Amino acid sequence: MPYLFTSESVSEGHPDKVADQISDALIDNFLAFDPESKVACETLVTTGQVVLAGEVKSNTYLDVQKIARDTINKIGYTKSAYMFDGNSCGVFSAIHEQSEEINRGVDRASKEEQGAGDQGMMFGYATNETENYMPLALDLSHRILKELAELRRENKDITYLRPDSKSQVTIEYSDDNVPQRIDAIVVSTQHDEFDADEVMLAKIRKDIIEILIPRVIAKLPEHIQELFNDDITYHINPTGKFVIGGPHGDTGLTGRKIIVDTYGGKGAHGGGAFSGKDPSKVDRSAAYATRHIAKNLVAAGLCDQILVQVSYAIGVAKPMGIFVDTYGTCHFNLTDGEIAKTVEKLFDMRPAFIEERLKLRQPMYSETAAYGHMGRQNEVVTKSFEQPNGEPITLDVELFTWEKLDYVDKVKAAFEIV
C-alpha cells in the first residue's frame, strides 16, 4: 500500500533560524581568532530585541553586538516596518565564563583523550533516494525556500517578499520505499501589504506556483522533475495574509528547529541542538560524524539507507557504543551488529579524532545555520573576520566536511565490496 511522508523547512528569516545564525556567527568569530575556544551560546530574538546568553572559554574578545547586528542585516531585516532590524534593535549580552567543572571534564593533558562535552546519543542518516543522500521531502523543502530567498534578494520577478517563510512537502512512496509523486506542497511567505487581502493572496499564490516552483524544478535532476505534475495540491499562505512575521510575529530561540536541521523526521534524533556549540560538544560534532559514516556506507553500496547512533558519557572520550540500522536494505549477508563492529574499527569516534578528521575547529558554522546542516555542498571558501580593535583576518575555510565521500574506498575494502 503506498504511503505519504512529509517534511518541512523554514527560511533564514524564520525567528528560530535568526537565533541560530547569530549563535553560529559568534562561534565562527571565536574560532577565527582562537581555534581552541569553548563556546555554548544561546540567542533569543523578539520585537526589537536580541538577548545573548551562554558560556565561553576563549583567549579572544568579540564585539558581540556588532556580530549580531551584522547577521540580522545580512538575513534581510533592515527596515523599521519589520519591527525588528539590525540597525535599531537592542542587543543584550549575558555571556560569561565557562564553568571550570565542565572544562575539567573536556580538556585533557593529552588531546587524544579529550572527554565528551556532554552525555547523550547522536544519530546520522543517509538514503540513496537523492543525489546528496538526503530524504527527498526535506531536500525539496530546503530548495523551495533557498530559491524563494534568491527571488527576494533579486527583488525583480517578485518584489513584495519579506524574510520569514516556511515550506512543507509531502511525497507518496511505493511499498518498496521509492518516491512516486509529490502529493502536496505548502509555502507560507511573509510579504508587504500591497493591496486588498484577496488580491494579495491571489497574486502570491500565482507567483509561487508559476515563478518559484518552475525555478526549483529547473535545478533538479530529471528523475526528480518527473515527480512534479498538475495534480499537486498547493497550500499557499493558507491562513491568509502574512505581513507580521519574523521575531516581531514570533519569538525565536536557538536550537528549536533540530528536525529541519537534520533529516526532516526520517531516521532519528538524539534531541541535542547544534547551533551555538563549539565542536567539543558532541551534540554537534558526533551528529556530523555519524552523518559522515552513514553517507559513506550508502555511497559505497553497502545498503540503500542507514541510521547510525553513537552515545557518550560526559568527560569520557570513548563512546558508550555504536548502533546501526539498515532497515533491511543491506545488500550483503551481514547483520546490523556486524556492520556496527566494522564501523567502530573504521571510524575513531573519540571527540578529538572527530574534530581532526572533519576539521571542525575552523570558523565553518554560519553556513550551517539555515537550510539544513546535512546534504550540503563541501567546498572551500574565503572568509574575513574583524576584531573589535579593527584587526582583520582572512581564512580559507572548508565547509561541510562531513559531506565528503572520502571513506568510500575504505568502506568497500572493509566490507569486501567489489
Is 108 labelled as part of a ligand binding site? no
Is 34 labelled as part of a ligand binding site? no
CB 34 within 8 A of CB 59: yes
Is 118 labelled as part of a ligand binding site? no
Among 42, 41, 95, 49, smallest CA distance to 72 is for 49
Is 42 labelled as part of a ligand binding site? yes
Is 266 labelled as part of a ligand binding site? no
Q: Which residue has the cell 519579506?
A: 162
Is 404 labelled as part of a ligand binding site? no
Residue 24 sits at φ, ψ, to 5 deg, of -75, -30
Residues in the chain: 418
* Distance separating alpha carbons of residues 359 and 350, to the nearest angstrom: 14
Among 121, 131, 122, 176, smallest CA distance to 295 is for 131
Is 166 labelled as part of a ligand binding site? yes
Angle separating helix axes 15-33 and 64-75, nearest 10 degrees: 130
Tell me if residue 218 falls in helix, strand or coil: helix
Is 285 labelled as part of a ligand binding site? no
Is 283 labelled as part of a ligand binding site? no
The cell for 81 is 516596518
Is 225 labelled as part of a ligand binding site? no
* Distance separating alpha carbons of residues 207 and 216, to the nearest angstrom: 13
Amino acid at residue number 378:
N
Among 347, 262, 372, smallest CA distance to 297 is for 347
Angle separating helix axes 282-299 and 336-346, nearest 10 degrees: 110
Q: How far is CA 132 from CA 68, 77, 127, 241, 303, in A?
A: 32, 31, 9, 35, 15
N-terminal to C-terminal alpha carbon distance within the chain: 35
Is 112 labelled as part of a ligand binding site? no
Is 55 labelled as part of a ligand binding site? yes
**CB-count exposure of residue 98 (10 Å: 0-12, 13-18, 19+):** middle
The cell for 247 is 521575531
DSSP single-letter state for residue 211: I
Amino acid at residue number 231:
D
Among 295, 5, 289, smallest CA distance to 128 is for 295
What stretch of H or E contains 74?
Answer: helix 64-75
Is 207 labelled as part of a ligand binding site? no
Is 359 labelled as part of a ligand binding site? no
Q: Which residues are annotated as a binding site for L-methionine?
A: 55, 98, 250, 281
Q: Which residues are annotated as a binding site?
A: 14, 16, 42, 55, 98, 164-166, 241-242, 250, 256-257, 273, 277, 281
Q: Which residues are annotated as a binding site for K(+)?
A: 42
Q: Which residues are annotated as a binding site for ATP?
A: 14, 164-166, 241-242, 250, 256-257, 273, 277
Q: Which residues are annotated as a binding site for Mg(2+)?
A: 16
